[in-house]
A and B are shown apart, each in its own frame.
Chain A
Amino acid sequence: MRSRFVLAALAVALPLTGAAARELRVGYSADIVTLDPANHRSRVTEGVIHNMYDAVLTRTVDMKVVPEIAQSFRQIDATTYEMRLRPGIKFHDGSPLGVEDVKFTFDRLTKDGAMEGKTSPRKSLVGPLAETEIVDRLTVRFKLSAPWPVFPAYLPFNQVVSKAYVEKVGSDGMATRPMGNGPFRLVEWRKGDSVILERFPDYYGGASDIPPVGPARIDRVIFKIIPEPASRVAALLAGEVDLVDELPHHAIKQVEANPRTKVLKSNGTRSFFIDFNTTKPPFDKVKVRQAANHAVDRKLVIDKILNGLAVPLTTLISPDSFGYNPNLEPWRYDPALAKKLLAEAGYPNGVDVTLDVDNPFKEQAEAVAAMLTQVGIRTKVQLWERTALTELWKDPSKHDRNMNFRSWGDGALDPVGIFVPVLKTKDRGNFSGYSNAEVDRLLTAADTEPDQAKRSEYYQKAQAIIREEAPLLFLWLPQDVYGASRRLVDWEPSPRGIIKLHRAALAD
């Protein structure tokens, strides 16, 4: 009886084992919204698109910007850049990729109403790019209306499309039937379920600075959307997928212990911090803010709550970022000093404050609150929905809340994408109400400074001021954690957070 049951179960289970030899499956945590590179603002979507489309420039694993479909790329003057196209690149339909396609791609991104009357939501990601000019058969010039030194750093975000194809199928067609130039081409997009890609045999090989150069080494790639972390882990352990993103911390030991799977990590690009409302007491006083920064044992929270998977921050800039100042003294955990600073600021008996947070970060916020309370900054944690919190904190002079636990992501790893919005006076992400004329001056100068060494110097100076004035409670930068099958080789994660599988291979 029992054996009959097992036999029946086996018969039902059989079709599972017929998988193709070199098929790589990715358990992906979030749903993608489109396959048109110019029509979204979603990083998870971009991650899938990168396997189908290449850009003018790309980044190495250690975040260096290098040419991708460009053979060379140079800056001519403060507002002009020139690329030379690598000859012989083909689109998935076999047509050659020419300079007209490059121009069309950037016109579609920058011109208002270029997408059937609508404007690309990625327009800001090419900065003040005004004109894209064809110089000759292989040369394109990018003319900016104002200096924007991070132009090359943002080019990897924008992939090149085929002019003829977009004109044929329109933006609606591009959303669901993409036709790219990347290492893989689309087989089928099952909405909400999976994206199935196959190797493009005529691929030109990818960035010549990132070996090995050549067509993809696997035949098929499948991005399978599995939003629930526990199910993603289960799929990895069951051998249904070979790579998962956003591996939950509690599963790390289990994945490491399994002989068939391994854990991969990389620094992320999202800094965590707490806004002080610097427009109102008690956090209008620098010493109270410094006291709070000395009251938090970052290492303890990282070890106990974040499983050691984060680096403590001295300001809000990642150590991997351009312009990072390595000479600033990290915040020392020193409750006695914190109490002393608090007393000097006029709060010898402590002070009662609120800390706002949304549900996913409740535990971390409570740990921080407990430490603040120990030195006399008696902190009450309140839970909100993130969107409501953002709305509330937009203008700190209009509310009486004291602290806001949040994060800011910066995929380009350049202070222009994090320092400026969060700490420049009245900028879009400045919720602390912080305003310092010297910091503003340095950030504005860096915005247009063509000399990268000088730019870096401006940012480093600005960080030194921020370290002293502590407008935020600087916390940590978590790592991105992936789980992978041991079969997966030649793929490592990078701070970009993008799973590009062109060079990945499967052992055995």
Chain B
Amino acid sequence: MRPSALLERLLQLVPVLLGIALVVFLMMQATPGDPVELMLGDALATPEQREALRRDMGLDRPLPERFLHFLGNAATLDFGQSFHHRRPVADVILERLPATIELTLAAMAIAIAVGVPLGVVAAVRRDGWIDRLATILGLAGVSMPGFWLGILLILLFSVQLGWLPVSGRIGFGAEVPPVTGLLLVDTLLAGRPASFLEALRHLLLPAVTLGLAMAALLMRVTRTSMLEALRQDYVTFATAKGLPRRRVLIRHALRNALTPTVTVAAIETGTLLGGNMIVETVFGWPGLGRLVVEGIFTRNYPLVQAAVLLYAVTYVLLNLLADVLQTVLNPKVRL
């Protein structure tokens, strides 16, 4: 990829982010509900108290001024104070981000490890029993709600068998010096294999819950594009040349078939990085999803605005990554 193309793509981020910032800002304002009232709830509050809070939150200023203020500060990565935490939004979000990244990477690893091989086998043995089984599993995986699967896994592995913990990221006794925030990495860096195992045991159920739905999706995409690839002339030609079957499948068919899979995987990673409220709620996983959904319900404007900007950047960058990977998989593709 040419450096200028990369720069061009990154510059495209600017108008995208500006547009998103404006839309999110206006949408939050247009949503009924007063952040001050929501924070105070039913308990005693005088009109002076309301005014003081409104001032502290900056809600006493006119709308355009607030938007410009938000943009100006956002340019320096200052997203203001979270209404409810009464601390900088950036701190509150960064505290939750590592848990979400760790869960996303684990879920995606499971999804790719299960989904891609299954898709390939299903395509190669089309209409065979593996294909049928994979199709059924794929349908189940896509349509099964995360909270239901999560609860079932908890009931089986935590309550009945007692093998895995119900919730959390690591035991309460573990003290892991934070380096990356990813516990699987930090425990190893600190040289604590027991804590690493513990973190892994906590990660397993939420990652499987998220990963299986994603695996089903990747399986279906891979199967379809693999079937398409297998019909192409170059595959027939490679087979006719007498190349070994395995080589034809992997080097010729799969490599081309993977293009849509990579795009889907990248976009889905972007979605996962937004945090998955449902899985985080079921497993008490301290990720971003729960925080942002709570922020929406309590009209925590600064928090939601910052989070949505973060999502936008993540999405655009992952799309870019998908495009770069395309050029690796298929030299004919140029950016």
Interface-facing stretch out of A90-98, A191-199, A452-460: A191-199
Residues of A within 8 A of B113 (CB): none
A3 interface hit (Cβ, 8 Å): no
Interface-facing stretch out of B101-109, B254-262, B283-291: B283-291
B166 interface hit (Cβ, 8 Å): yes
User: Contacts A41-B41, A121-B53, A234-B154; is A191 near B95 (CB within 8 Å)?
Assistant: yes
Q: Evaluate contact between A235 and B163: CB separation under 8 angstroms.
A: no
B252 interface hit (Cβ, 8 Å): no
Q: Evaluate contact between B33 and A391: CB separation under 8 angstroms.
A: yes
| Nearest A residue (CB) for B40 | A41
Out of B169, B194, B284, B299, which one reaches A226, CB within 8 Å?
Answer: B284
Q: Evaluate contact between A124 and B32: CB separation under 8 angstroms.
A: no
A172 interface hit (Cβ, 8 Å): yes
Q: Which of A23, A41, A192, A412 has the most CB of B within 10 A?
A: A192
A305 to chain B, nearest CB (A): 23
Q: Evaluate contact between A124 and B159: CB separation under 8 angstroms.
A: no
A473 to chain B, nearest CB (A): 19
Interface-facing stretch out of B79-87, B310-318, B323-331: B79-87
Q: Evaluate contact between B166 and A240: CB separation under 8 angstroms.
A: yes
For window 354-402 of A, CB contacts with B under 8 Å fall at 387-388, 390-392
User: Contacts A230-B151, A240-B166; is A20 near B173 (CB within 8 Å)?
Assistant: yes
A264 interface hit (Cβ, 8 Å): no
CA of A220 to CA of B171 in the docked complex: distance in angstroms? 14
Out of B42, B49, B290, which one reaches A121, CB within 8 Å?
Answer: B49
User: Contacts A124-B44, A387-B299, A409-B42; is A191 near B96 (CB within 8 Å)?
Assistant: yes
Interface string of B158-174 (1 = CB under 8 A from A): 11011111111101110
CA of A56 to CA of B73 in the docked complex: distance in angstroms? 41
Q: Evaluate contact between B173 and A224: CB separation under 8 angstroms.
A: no
A281 interface hit (Cβ, 8 Å): no
A18 interface hit (Cβ, 8 Å): yes
Q: Evaluate contact between B86 and A408: CB separation under 8 angstroms.
A: no
Interface string of A398-420 (1 = CB under 8 A from B): 00000000001111100011100
For window 128-160 of A, CB contacts with B under 8 Å fall at 154
CA of A112 to CA of B33 in the docked complex: distance in angstroms? 26
Total A-B pairs, Cβ < 8 A: 173
Interface string of B275-303 (1 = CB under 8 A from A): 00000011110110011001001010000
Residues of A within 8 A of B268 (CB): none
User: Contacts A119-B52, A121-B40, A175-B85; is A190 near B286 (CB within 8 Å)?
Assistant: yes
User: Contacts A234-B158, A240-B165; is A125 near B56 (CB within 8 Å)?
Assistant: no
Indicate the size class of the contact surface on chain A: 35 or more
CA of A9 to CA of B201 in the docked complex: distance in angstroms? 11
Residues of B within 8 A of A16 (CB): 162, 165, 171, 201
Interface string of A166-182 (1 = CB under 8 A from B): 00000110011000000
Residues of B within 8 A of A23 (CB): 172
B80 to chain A, nearest CB (A): 13
A47 interface hit (Cβ, 8 Å): no
B45 interface hit (Cβ, 8 Å): yes
| Nearest B residue (CB) for A190 | B286
User: Contacts A33-B84, A190-B286, A222-B172; is A390 near B151 (CB within 8 Å)?
Assistant: no
Q: Evaluate contact between B172 and A194: CB separation under 8 angstroms.
A: yes
Residues of A within 8 A of B164 (CB): 13
Q: Evaluate contact between B42 and A410: CB separation under 8 angstroms.
A: yes
User: Contacts A227-B284, A231-B151; is A175 near B86 (CB within 8 Å)?
Assistant: yes
For window 162-208 of B, CB contacts with A under 8 Å fall at 162-169, 171-173, 175, 194, 197-198, 201
Residues of A within 8 A of B143 (CB): none
B198 to chain A, nearest CB (A): 5
Q: Evaluate contact between B165 and A119: CB separation under 8 angstroms.
A: no
B148 to chain A, nearest CB (A): 10
Residues of B within 8 A of A428 (CB): 45
Residues of B within 8 A of A263 (CB): none
Q: Evaluate contact between B171 and A15: CB separation under 8 angstroms.
A: yes
A469 interface hit (Cβ, 8 Å): no
Residues of A within 8 A of B52 (CB): 112, 119, 123
Residues of A within 8 A of B33 (CB): 387-388, 390-391
Residues of A within 8 A of B95 (CB): 191-192
Q: Evaluate contact between B284 and A225: CB separation under 8 angstroms.
A: yes
User: Contacts A40-B84, A125-B43, A408-B42; is A390 near B281 (CB within 8 Å)?
Assistant: no
B38 interface hit (Cβ, 8 Å): yes
B25 interface hit (Cβ, 8 Å): no
CA of A171 to CA of B81 in the docked complex: distance in angstroms? 13
Residues of A within 8 A of B40 (CB): 41, 121
Q: Evaluate contact between A18 and B56: CB separation under 8 angstroms.
A: no
Residues of B within 8 A of A437 (CB): none
Q: Evaluate contact between A123 and B49: CB separation under 8 angstroms.
A: yes
CA of A125 to CA of B291 in the docked complex: distance in angstroms? 27
Q: Evaluate contact between B53 and A238: CB separation under 8 angstroms.
A: no
B70 interface hit (Cβ, 8 Å): no
A-B CB contact pairs (8 Å), 8 listed: A40-B86, A41-B40, A119-B49, A123-B49, A193-B284, A225-B284, A234-B166, A409-B42
Question: Interface of A with B (CB < 8 Å)?
Answer: 9, 12-13, 15-16, 18-20, 23, 25, 31, 33-34, 36, 39-42, 112, 118-119, 121, 123-125, 127, 154, 171-172, 175-176, 188, 190-194, 196, 220, 222, 224-228, 230-231, 234-235, 237-238, 240, 387-388, 390-392, 408-412, 416-418, 421, 428-429
Q: Which 8 A-B pairs have the closest CB atoms?
A: A192-B286, A387-B33, A193-B286, A391-B32, A119-B52, A226-B284, A235-B166, A191-B95
10 additional A-B pairs beyond A33-B85, A224-B284, beta carbons within 8 Å, are A34-B86, A42-B84, A112-B52, A121-B49, A230-B151, A234-B154, A240-B166, A387-B31, A388-B32, A409-B42
